[in-house]
Chains A and B, each alone.
Chain A
Amino acid sequence: MVNLGKSGLDRRALAWGGVGVVLTLALTFLGSDGLRWFDSALIGYLFGLVFAVFAITYRYSVWLRRPPTAMLNRRGWDSFRERPSRNLLSLPALIGSHLLVQGFIRKRSTSRWLAHQFVFWGCILAGLITIPLTMGWLHFQSVGQQADRYQVYFSRVGTVSFDAASIVGWLAFHALDVAAVLVLIGVFIFLRRRLSDPGALAVERSGDFLALAGLFAVSVTGLFLTISSTLLEGQFYPALNTLHALTVILGLMYLPFGKLFHIFQRPANLGVAYYKQVNLDGPQAECRRCGEPFCGIQQVTDVQLVLEQVGFDYSSEDGDNYQNTCPGCRRRQVALAQSLRVGGFG
């Protein structure tokens, strides 16, 4: 048996991780115009980011090489290429429904979906702002002599400008607060669900709480910063700033290992959608026992191959493979075999 995930460090994945780190650093250097716009106060964040990139790339490439994942990865792309134009056309809708709107969560439970949407959009918003900021891609400059007019710079290119006192200005400076509030709302709905529902609690893994705790800590310390600067005239600011940085950096380092890694795995869902379509349209495997079609031949064959790769042998003497029987007939066959061996009752 392949001992998944317990095989020491993986050289190839290390290399990919290295590539990721180099790429991130290069992009930071280039994007910040040779570090000109890089804010050295954010060096801790950059460290966290680089670490996260390394570890995520590492884990992702290990994951991608597991036989079933590799198979799916290949098949996903194959399926996509089979009808490129049609598939390209359907891509936005798929991304919308599977990755952004996440209707499948809503089918499970509305409150859970709501919570997830809040956290999801909060994180997206925060990521879109902080990552470019950290990498020095984004900065603000005051326009001319006007102390309260700012322009947003993307690298060395000036883009929009706004009045600090305007709504846009407020939003620009408080976007992260908005993100934090979104996340907190989501976290609270999640927590309420979990604490009030014994069933949910039972399947809870400690990792789930850790993820919620992390999101909570990052959001709350971030909000404290704003409170300190706007209401407390900067009291405790340095200490809070360090605290916030610490939570964010820890969060970034947790990202590749914990529950939140699903953010990076999830897009594979799109490949699955294409693969399933191909298998729906293609020839169907018929059950050896009842003769009914139960799945696309391609996927059955793929799974049989994967089974072999991970060390199973479901073949029988007559050259057949057990997975050629439909799941319902497998259940029936187990029952019939068992009944035969309690023949003494009859």
Chain B
Amino acid sequence: MKYRPNEAPVFVIDQSRCIGCEACVQGCMECGTHRGQSLIHLERIDRATTTQTAPMVCMHCEDPTCAQVCPADAIKQDEGGIVHSALKPRCIGCSNCVIACPFGVPRFMAELDQMMKCDMCIDRTSEGLKPMCASVCPSEALWYGTREEFADNRRGELIREFRFGRQDVRTLVYTVVDDLAPGPLDVLRGFERSWLEDPFDLEGGAHDAGLGFS
């Protein structure tokens, strides 16, 4: 199953669906362009209170912050808008990109003394195949396909504008929102909120198993 270029498939990240299985992390390690190195990120939001987890791939910013702060001019964007890993001969391993990227994407590989980052599996996508993480993701938190396919199968709107304080960033990768309020995803406005307030009804006093819970 391959996409043709004129179908213009897009990458969609919907962190809210992630089940934390790490298939993406394991799959990323199998990618042709960086075998043995997993470049995708997977965060636990706060395991003490929730099972919520969150993947992060490179969002492929239209004006990549990472490239702009790179002293070695090692981070390049191709015609398709994909922002590549640092050019190996150039990258001098300073980590400026790691510090600057608003999505926390580049990884400094200490052993290799250079930065590597998600390149949307350029070896696969350039041939019309889905990236590895979006191929395997069981929850479709990471998804790749045409906008029509998305509209046919999934709820929610695709947006790709993000706001970080005063800075707006537009990306190649989309995310999903389900509200009617237009406008960018305001990252500083996010806060912890559980779908399930008080899942065990501890306020309501449903537990009384002789252990003194109330």
Which A residues fall within an 8 A CB radius of B?
A: 1, 4-5, 63, 66, 68-69, 71-73, 98, 104-105, 107-108, 197-203, 259, 262, 265-266, 268-269, 272, 275-276, 295, 299-300, 303, 306-307, 310-317, 320-323, 326-346
Contacts and interface: CB of A to CB of B under 8 A. Distances in A.
A63 to B, nearest CB: 7
| Chain B interface bracket (under 10, 10 to 19, 20 to 34, 35 or more) | 35 or more
A327 B98 contact: yes
Interface stretch (B2-10, B176-184, B198-206): B176-184
A104 B15 contact: no
A289 to B, nearest CB: 10
Contact of B92 (A202, A259, A269, A334): A269
Name the prevailing secondary structure of the B interface residues: loop
B165 A317 contact: yes
A200 B33 contact: yes
A306 B71 CA distance: 10
Nearest to B116: A108
A1 B62 CA distance: 13
A6 to B, nearest CB: 13
Contacts of A339: 15-16, 52, 190, 193
Contact of A342 (B84, B156, B165): B156
A5 B90 CA distance: 16
B40 to A, nearest CB: 10
B150 interface: no
B139 interface: no
Interface string B132-157: 00000000000000000000000110
Contact of A312 (B113, B123, B167): B167
A340 B188 CA distance: 12
Contact of B112 (A107, A200, A310, A323): A107
Nearest to B192: A336
B99 A340 contact: no
A253 to B, nearest CB: 19
B99 A323 contact: yes
Contacts of A105: 112
Contacts of B51: none
Contacts of A314: 102, 164-167
B103 A313 contact: no
Contacts of A272: 92-94
A315 B99 contact: no
Contacts of B162: 334
Contact of B69 (A73, A307, A341): A307
Contacts of B175: 338
B54 interface: yes
B186 A337 contact: yes
Given A338-B16, A341-B185, A346-B195, 20 more contacts: A72-B96, A104-B111, A104-B114, A202-B122, A203-B84, A203-B85, A259-B89, A268-B71, A268-B92, A275-B94, A316-B166, A322-B164, A322-B165, A322-B187, A327-B98, A329-B104, A334-B54, A335-B16, A344-B155, A345-B16
